[in-house]
Structure 1
Amino acid sequence: MDQRKVFINPHNNLLQLEEPIYPLVEVDQPNTFRNLFPYDEIPKIAFNDRIVPHHLPEEIFITDTTFRDGQQSRAPYTTQQIVTMYDYLHRLGGPKGLIRQSEFFLYSKKDRDAVYSCLERGYEFPEVTSWIRASKKDFELVKEIGLKETGILVSCSDYHIFYKMKMTRGEAMNHYLNIVRECLETGIAARCHLEDITRSDIHGFVIPFCSKLMKLSEEYNIPVKIRACDTMGYGVNFAGAVIPRSVQGIIYGIRTHANVPSKWLEWHGHNDFYKAVTNSTTAWLYGASGVNCSLFGIGERTGNTPLEAMVFEYAQLKGTLDGMDTTVITELAEYFENEIGYRVPSRTPFVGKNFNVTRAGIHADGLLKNEEIYNIFDTEKFLNRPVLVAVSNTSGLAGIAHWINTFFKLKGEKTVDKGHPIVANIKAWVDKEYETGRVTVITDDELIEIIQVAQEELGLYIQ
């Protein structure tokens, strides 16, 4: 007979059984979930049809790892580049600070210089935080700089505990708890990064570990946050999928069984199976207030959850941007390309060169009549990116004029119409291209070159 107490849930006014207590489960051999992760086969997604309820927190927000995970997969940013991007993130997050935190490495002088420079900005948001390994030596760096919060790497799957750390579960847990306790004793809030959570024993290690972390938090009256890290991108958001691959199952378990409040719970996703964005949104929907992202998804292997994607996921879930300045996203993309030398893939949503460019002739015709037909939203308003029509043999004079006006951002009296001599000159060149067998659209670079030639020939200039 079930001896658990019955209580009224104040959130939904329904009778519920109290949640069971999950103790640490020691094992002699690592549980590698070979039924789900046979290394010589494609990983498997299994279902048990157990459904957990939605629990969208009252407040959701974004945290940033551009200067930590985002730097692990590319050449390091300079101090000035980091500070400039930090300024952009502050503007993007708006007055409510929806880009809540940004984490930094502390190991090199360059990284520490960037931290000091960002702190000197005096912004409330994004709050400057750090990331360290679970070692006392690393913790000394946090104390030296005087940060209020630090992330701590606490690998939680048996793959890491047994194979990398060469410990038992109990030894790993005690090691982590000692580091967290030392952190709290100096008044610094801890953020525990549960690495490889989607291959971990959720009930046998993760939940009992998080429960002990909550007890430490209560003892010291200092937050201990939980970051659920889908390090390998194995998470899935399908209803009824089994843990440890189920995102909603993980979030529900940590929040309900370990009593971690939503405001201290965040998701860190990777994109190995193209699920970073949907998994992050799912984490929000099922009770995590934070999702951890990097600009343009730059990060380990296939990358992290793109920060700009979650800005628009936020707007779709909440029905408002809550003051976030989305035009900053375009400025950041231009900064990355022009100053850092990173070229965003052209078809990347929101930031790629061609993300709102219509190429098919029939689509271009509709777009010219009403841009809502083939544009996802007012991209000029939200991203300072007017919709573009690619020029082809079906574009006509009007299509070419539209391309010139939008590409060069001509307004008012500076706009050209289909009767402009330069438009006619380009149309003649385009027609000749297709008459001689061309089947592809005209590229932007080609059009820029032809416009320059036409301006010289006609002595007219469109800007």
Structure 2
Amino acid sequence: MLVNRPIIIDDTTLRDGEQTAGVAFKRREKCEIARELVASGVPELEIGIPAMGEDERDTIRAITSMNLKARTIVWCRMSEGDLAAACNLGVDMIDLSMPMSDQQISSKLGRDRAYVLKQIAYMVPKALDEGFEVLVGGEDSSRADLDFVLEVLEAAERAGAKRFRFADTVGILEPFATIEIFRTLGANSGLELEMHAHDDYGLATANSLAAALGGATHVNTTVNGLGERAGNASLEEFVTAGRNLYGFETGVDQRSLNALSGMVAKASGRPVPLQKSLVGSSVFTHESGIHIDGLIKDKLNYQGVDPEWFGRKHELVLGKHSGTKAVQHVYGQLGIALTLAEAMDLIPHVRRFAEAYKRAPDLDDLIALHRNLDECLTEEGSAELALEEGGA
């Protein structure tokens, strides 16, 4: 289903992404990440929490002083103190966040719904007077009474806010409910609508896509899906799936995402899992004989995502599930032409190697297996592997 409309990415790697337990970016790293996000085409960046203190505010100033071609946003509680901390930082927009669910309104704030509506009516104009565009952040919206959320949208719009963020703070939504929620919000409000999804059930990207299908104008993402607990919607997943499945145009260059992922992985100290969708090092690696045979004949046989979108390519390796065509192809790339019989002879030794070392044989291993089937390099290239006599 192609929708073919723009969706604005509001990336929060530098705010919610840094809230990942144990992650702490240096100022230099935050500036570098901000620069690369914008160079990749991300139009909005949520860059910090001013109330954290002067060091955080200095970092926010450092980012805004770069004069990047992106709207900058800071996250604040809906309070005068947090608003004061956000002033004079060079930021374009302020997210004034307020709990939406009765659970949080009562147990966290010790207040009631009337208080929430009064604070919106009071704080939004004050933020506008300070020169900010205002985003009302609906914390825990997914557990709130939807009728009350609609009251909040009405109050926010009346007070002069530009946008409402629907936050699935505890990650309990699923896509079918999400699309209906955003259809309802859009039918009852003229505000921009932003989705903020968490991945507790592994549905953050799916819920963000559903929100966009339902009418969301903006989506929060983080590089590599960083964020509280299980993380947030992944920038690389939303951009790629949104474009190729639904025709959403974000303006983000897919070819930049692999390098951006690596940069954030290094700065965060959170390595990208080998099979992390789209940017994991193994996601375009093939071992199965059936798959490799199909790819050799036509890559479209087993390609749903084109690695060239990310400046990458398919990698064919040998292992326990390799067949003769795979062995011939991989050795052929090394300049070693194998007959069918030679390939069949090598297969059992390749399989035993994979079982023993829990990895695919690398270049040196393959050459050693071919040259002398009685000897094979270990993972460091030095230990011996006993092989049966009679090999090719």
Normalising by the residue count of structure 2, what TM-score does the alignment of the two structures yield? 0.82
Please name the residue that 1:443 is paired with: 359
Deviation at 1:397, TM superposition (A): 7.8
Q: Which amino acid aligns with 2:335?
A: D
CA shift in 2, pair 1:187/1:120, >3 Å = closer
Deviation at 1:361, TM superposition (A): 1.7
Percent identity over the alignment? 23
Q: What SS does the corresponding residue of 2:281 show, helix, strand or coil?
A: coil
Superposition pairs of residues 327-346 of structure 1, within 5 angstroms: 327-338=255-266, 340-346=268-274
Structure 2 residue 26 is the aligned partner of structure 1 residue 78: yes
Contact 2:6 2:250 in 1 (8 A): no
Deviation at 1:270, TM superposition (A): 1.0
Deviation at 1:135, TM superposition (A): 1.7
Structure 2 residue 319 is the aligned partner of structure 1 residue 392: yes
Contact 2:222 2:233 in 1 (8 A): yes
Q: What SS does the corresponding residue of 1:145 show, helix, strand or coil?
A: coil
Structure 2 residue 45 is the aligned partner of structure 1 residue 101: yes
Structure 2 residue 168 is the aligned partner of structure 1 residue 253: no
Structure 2 residue 171 is the aligned partner of structure 1 residue 233: yes
Please name the residue that 1:16 is paired with: none
Deviation at 1:254, TM superposition (A): 2.3
1:294-327 deviation per Cα after TM superposition (whole angstroms, max 9, x unaligned): 1111111111111111111231255476753212
Q: Which amino acid aligns with 1:215?
A: R
Please name the residue that 2:349 is paired with: 432
1:418-459 deviation per Cα after TM superposition (whole angstroms, max 9, x unaligned): 339xxxx999887435368x6589625x526636979xx9xx
Structure 2 residue 12 is the aligned partner of structure 1 residue 65: yes
Structure 2 residue 112 is the aligned partner of structure 1 residue 168: yes
CA distance in 1, matches of 2:327, 2:159: 66
1:22-49 deviation per Cα after TM superposition (whole angstroms, max 9, x unaligned): xxxxxxxxxxxxxxxxxxxxxxxxxxxx
CA shift in 2, pair 1:449/1:342, >3 Å = farther
Uncovered stretches (5+) of structure 1, i.e. residues with no partner? 1-53, 218-222, 239-245, 406-414, 458-463
CA shift in 2, pair 1:81/1:159, >3 Å = same
Please name the residue that 1:115 is paired with: 60
CA distance in 2, matches of 1:199, 1:268: 13
Structure 2 residue 277 is the aligned partner of structure 1 residue 277: no
CA distance in 1, matches of 2:267, 2:368: 29
Contact 2:324 2:347 in 1 (8 A): no
Alpha-carbon RMSD across the aligned residues, in angstroms, is 3.3
Structure 2 residue 146 is the aligned partner of structure 1 residue 202: yes
CA distance in 1, matches of 2:249, 2:153: 32
Contact 1:337 1:344 in 2 (8 A): yes
Superposition pairs of residues 267-306 of structure 1, within 5 angstroms: 267-306=195-234
Uncovered stretches (5+) of structure 2, i.e. residues with no partner? 373-392
Normalising by the residue count of structure 1, what TM-score does the alignment of the two structures yield? 0.71
Structure 2 residue 309 is the aligned partner of structure 1 residue 382: yes
Q: Return the match for 1:216 from 138, 146, 159.
A: 159
Contact 1:102 1:129 in 2 (8 A): yes
Superposition pairs of residues 120-139 of structure 1, within 5 angstroms: 120-125=65-70, 127-139=71-83
Contact 1:79 1:110 in 2 (8 A): no
Q: What SS does the corresponding residue of 1:266 show, helix, strand or coil?
A: strand
Deviation at 1:145, TM superposition (A): 1.1
Contact 1:268 1:291 in 2 (8 A): yes
